[in-house]
Amino acid sequence: MPTNEELEELGHNCKLEWTKYKSVWGYMLTSKKNGKKLFLPASGCRNETSLNYAGENGYCWSSTPLEEFDNGTIGLGFSSGPPASWICPAPQDIVHTSGAGFFNGC
């Protein structure tokens, strides 16, 4: 599982392209250094009974603990937009406790 710093590095050191890959919407990240690619699916989020925003938003956990919560971690969120956006992981941007089981994907 990536750290908060590693997720931030992806945002700064990769070209970000909102695209459809193998019939799934998400971000294709292409390294500015070596051209390697990584696809992050827009898998949405799940509450107790339903899947929401699949194909529109994506979320990832990081392994960086969130000091304000005993069972929380910092997360990354991204959206199709418009315009497409990459939300740098930081407590003020998107935070959910890992006990809630909110994020899908990544």
d(CA 33, CA 56): 28
pLDDT given for residue 23 in this prediction: 94
Residue written as token pair 């992050």: 40
Q: How far apart are CA 75 and CA 68, in angstroms?
A: 14
Give the per-residue pLDDT at 21. Answer: 95
- The per-residue pLDDT for 67 is 72
Question: Nearest 5°: phi and psi at 73?
Answer: -135, 160
- 4 membership: H or E segment, kind and range: helix 4-13
pTM of this structure = 0.70
* pLDDT value at residue 106: 42
